[in-house]
Amino acid sequence: MDRGTFIKKGILAASGLAVLPSPSFASPQGEVFDKQEIKDFVFAAHKDFEETKRIVEQKPLILNCTNQPQRGDFETAVGGASHMGRRDIADLLVSKGARLDIFNYAFLGYDEFIMKLLTDYPNLLKAPGPHGFTLLHHANVGDRGNLASWLQEKGLTETFIKG
């Protein structure tokens, strides 16, 4: 083989490898969770610390999956723990890397952050959370009395918004 052919074949081979997925970036088989696995995890996070811990330690990538019990009603495990007032479960999930939303922050006590966010984006005041639970509900179950009072002063009186 002459030098020119060798170079052309080398370039073609290298460019072909560049478009193939690298084994280190490819998703391993079995990493996609089915709806029932996600539902069971999110449901456990509503009430059962040990079961939640067992599942997340066994399947760490399930941590931020969302359950959708009804059209448009998305709920994560930390969301379920938050609206049920389960600080122990929420803390476990956050320690594992759970992503938080405004409702979780209201429950966990980030009052100044919530106040700043609602000052900048007042339309979020009456945003429905998972299952329609409001920021006021989350502040109440998180025993965040000052935040609950502030939310009410701003006009949020509902703890639940029916979708």
Q: What ranges do the domains of the chain cover?
A: 31-100, 102-163
Confidence (pTM): 0.81
Distance (Å, whole) CA 135 – CA 151: 8
Cα distances (Å, whole numbers) of residue 104 to 83, 86, 87, 141:
8, 11, 10, 11
pLDDT beyond 60 at 26: no
The average pLDDT across 16-37 equals 59
The average pLDDT across 114-122 equals 98
Mean residue pLDDT across the chain: 88
Distance (Å, whole) CA 131 – CA 145: 22
Crossing angle for the helix pair 87-95 and 49-58, to the nearest 10 degrees? 10
Q: What is the pLDDT of residues 35-60, one digit of tens each?
A: 999 999 999 999 999 999 999 999 99
Residue with tokens 């922050």: 105
pLDDT at residue 19, rounded to an integer: 43
Distance (Å, whole) CA 137 – CA 51: 25
Q: Report the 3 state secondary structure along 26-68.
A: CCCCCCCCCHHHHHHHHHHHCCCHHHHHHHHHHCHHHCCCCEE
Query: What DSSP state is assigned to residue 131?
Result: G
**Residue 119 tokens, joined:** 């000052």
